[in-house]
Structure 1
Amino acid sequence: MAENPSGDGYRGGIDVTLPVAMTMAAFTGIAVFNVLDINVSIFTTFQRRTGLYFWSLLTASWGIPIHAIGFLLKFFRLCRNDTVNVAVITVGWFAMVTGQSVVLYSRLHLIVRDGKKIRWVLVLIIVDFFLFHIPPTVLNFGANSRNPQPFLTPFAIYEKIQITAFSIQESIISSLYIWEARKMLRSVARVKRKEARSVMYHLICVNVLIIVMDITLLGTEYANQYSIETTYKSTLYSVKLKLEFAILNRLRDLVKSQRKESLSDETPNPPIPSFVRDPPLVHRIEIKKTAKSSISIFPTITHKEEVLGETGHTDSGGLIQGYMYISNSLASILFFLWALLALLLELFTLPPATASGNMMQKSSEHGKLQMDERKAE
């Protein structure tokens, strides 16, 4: 297929400077690195690899490199068949974006007691899938067809609409999670006040950070930086998945520590709020009774039991936390070095074409000046 002469990336390849290309490569490298780290954490943490959370997390994580590689094939003309390129991008985009929303949805089962809220979130995800995945996919294939003109402008407009819609969707789910988690953590504040407060602050900070990252993504899109936005998106979604996984681990640790206190303490638990008692069976969610108390604020958790519909976890403890800390540090250092190198190249180097052009211009001006002097003589 023909290349896009404007180089904006909506059709065919792109025409960017070396620093921009290196920045795109850095974003892609960080995204792939995070995906590998997430998958190592998944397979070393989950003992039984079943359940909605496990499979949605796995699907969303592998959608990220597929999405990023598809754009590399398209932008840098590594594959000149744009139908294949768009197909790869679409598969990765579906898995990455909707998979992330399903991860958020499945996580709500840990804390939300109202089955209607959970079902409404599922309806929201399904409706947004058909409204904001299918139309831009059709327009994208049309924009990269042999007759792209009728599709280019609608695709550019709908691209902004779908990014805004999915950002709002994820913000709604994250806000619901914060609200419900805040209610639940209030109920355990008397049991583990310091730890509960720490988890609540962690939840708030992480979700605020996710919203801020979505805002930066919207900024790159509305600034018409399509080539940067597509690779930056892959990095953001990989970071989001790492944050979600960290939240789940902290909640799991809080559940396990509260259970140990309930089993070792003869005194009854504090009063249980209404949203914890008599849970409705939503996706087979139920709270287990402990051995020495009538009911626990949190469900019991062992290596062989499910926790609110989620699969059991192995207690790898400090090893996994240390590994995640090192991997996050390496990713941050890698991003900083790439960004610094791109900035230095932008400031202190001049493209050869520009340099030769300036030399030709100066030579032409010097020749004109000599001709004027001869005429004056």
Structure 2
Amino acid sequence: LLACFVAVAAFGSLELLLLIFDFFKRRRGLYFWSLLLSTLATLIFTIVITLLWFAVPQARFGLVFVIVICYPTLNVGNTLVIYSRLHLVTSGRKIRWLFWMIVISSVVFLLPQAIIVTISASPDGEHVRDLYRVFEKLSVTATCVREMIVGGVFVWATARNLKPLIVIKGREGRKMVIYLIIATTMMVVTDIIIVVVVLCGQLYIISALTAFFSVLKLKLEFFSLGKLIRL
């Protein structure tokens, strides 16, 4: 089952890369780069966790070091993708406090986690593995809360600022709002599932689920952008 999650995530990442380069004619801006880097990080993440299943002990530290780079990239990237399309529903203005919330929460939770994971993967890292388990729970919970806030602000801004356009578009506009609400809800649900899995102590499946849900969220984001542009 875990192999299926990883395989779907890998193929989904490849598909998304093709869609990104086909869709974006001007390849610049926060949205493009956060979407691209998140997708690349997810693809590399799936490859590395697959290699970890078969790796000899001597190679584990190097593979874990790659994960330490990829995981924060896909984690923060997923949130930045949502944030970077806020300008589409806020008259070109971004809500700056959200950006700083993303930055601060990433530094507070992901940076220490990366250091702890790196140390725990070393031959003498046994003494920090309990600390890693604690920080893993804090990190995934913080990520869930962060994405709930950013996603909630996006849905609120869409319903509030695009209301005249939604009224003009009629049924199509209402369908778009419903789609965005469902997509955002699904993203939050995936985060909640990750939190529940970690809190239940099932850390051995967390990597596969993280990769799978990352691709799912990125695809939802990509199609949400298409809905907004067509509106």
Asked if structure 1 preserves the Cα contact closer than 8 Å seen for 2:10 and 2:47, the reply is no
Matched, 1:88 2:101: no
| Secondary structure of the structure 1 residue equivalent to 2:123 | coil
Specify whether residues 245 and 27 from structure 1 end up closer, same or farther in structure 2 by C-alpha distance, changes over 3 A only. same
Instruction: Report percent identity of matched pairs.
Output: 29
Asked if structure 1 preserves the Cα contact closer than 8 Å seen for 2:176 and 2:227, the reply is yes
In 2: Cα distance, 1:114 partner to 1:96 partner: 25
Counterpart position of 1:118: 95
Asked if structure 1 preserves the Cα contact closer than 8 Å seen for 2:89 and 2:162, the reply is no
CA offsets 1:146-185 (integer angstroms, 9 cap, x no match): 2223201101110111011011101110000000000133
Specify whether residues 243 and 78 from structure 1 end up closer, same or farther in structure 2 by C-alpha distance, changes over 3 A only. farther
| Secondary structure of the structure 2 residue equivalent to 1:187 | helix
Counterpart position of 2:201: 224
In 2: Cα distance, 1:199 partner to 1:237 partner: 22
In 1: Cα distance, 2:74 partner to 2:64 partner: 15
5+ unaligned residues in a row in structure 1: which ranges?
1-22, 255-377
Specify whether residues 188 and 155 from structure 1 end up closer, same or farther in structure 2 by C-alpha distance, changes over 3 A only. same
Higher Rg of the two aligned structures: 1
TM-score normalised to the size of structure 1?
0.59
Counterpart position of 1:60: 38
Matched, 1:104 2:82: yes
Give the aligned residue type for 1:44.
D
CA offsets 1:162-212 (integer angstroms, 9 cap, x no match): 011011101110000000000133211332111110101001111111111
RMSD: 1.5
Asked if structure 1 preserves the Cα contact closer than 8 Å seen for 2:14 and 2:43, the reply is no
Give the aligned residue type for 1:162.
S
Asked if structure 2 preserves the Cα contact closer than 8 Å seen for 1:74 and 1:80, the reply is no
In 2: Cα distance, 1:144 partner to 1:251 partner: 44
Give the aligned residue type for 1:159.
E
Asked if structure 1 preserves the Cα contact closer than 8 Å seen for 2:119 and 2:125, the reply is yes
Matched, 1:209 2:186: yes
Counterpart position of 2:162: 185
> Post-superposition shift, 1:92?
1.1
Counterpart position of 1:143: 120
In 2: Cα distance, 1:78 partner to 1:229 partner: 21
In 2: Cα distance, 1:62 partner to 1:78 partner: 25
Specify whether residues 223 and 156 from structure 1 end up closer, same or farther in structure 2 by C-alpha distance, changes over 3 A only. same
> Post-superposition shift, 1:114?
8.3
> Post-superposition shift, 1:78?
5.1
Which residue among 185, 194, 203 is the counterpart of 2:171?
A: 194
Counterpart position of 1:51: 29
> Post-superposition shift, 1:82?
2.5
Matched, 1:26 2:4: yes
Higher helix share: 2
Asked if structure 1 preserves the Cα contact closer than 8 Å seen for 2:38 and 2:78, the reply is yes
Asked if structure 1 preserves the Cα contact closer than 8 Å seen for 2:166 and 2:174, the reply is yes
Give the aligned residue type for 1:201.
I
In 1: Cα distance, 2:115 partner to 2:208 partner: 21
In 1: Cα distance, 2:168 partner to 2:147 partner: 31
Asked if structure 2 preserves the Cα contact closer than 8 Å seen for 1:64 and 1:238, the reply is yes
Specify whether residues 79 and 193 from structure 1 end up closer, same or farther in structure 2 by C-alpha distance, changes over 3 A only. farther
| Secondary structure of the structure 2 residue equivalent to 1:47 | coil
TM-score normalised to the size of structure 2?
0.94
Give the aligned residue type for 1:127.
I
| Secondary structure of the structure 2 residue equivalent to 1:188 | helix
In 2: Cα distance, 1:35 partner to 1:71 partner: 15
Counterpart position of 1:3: none
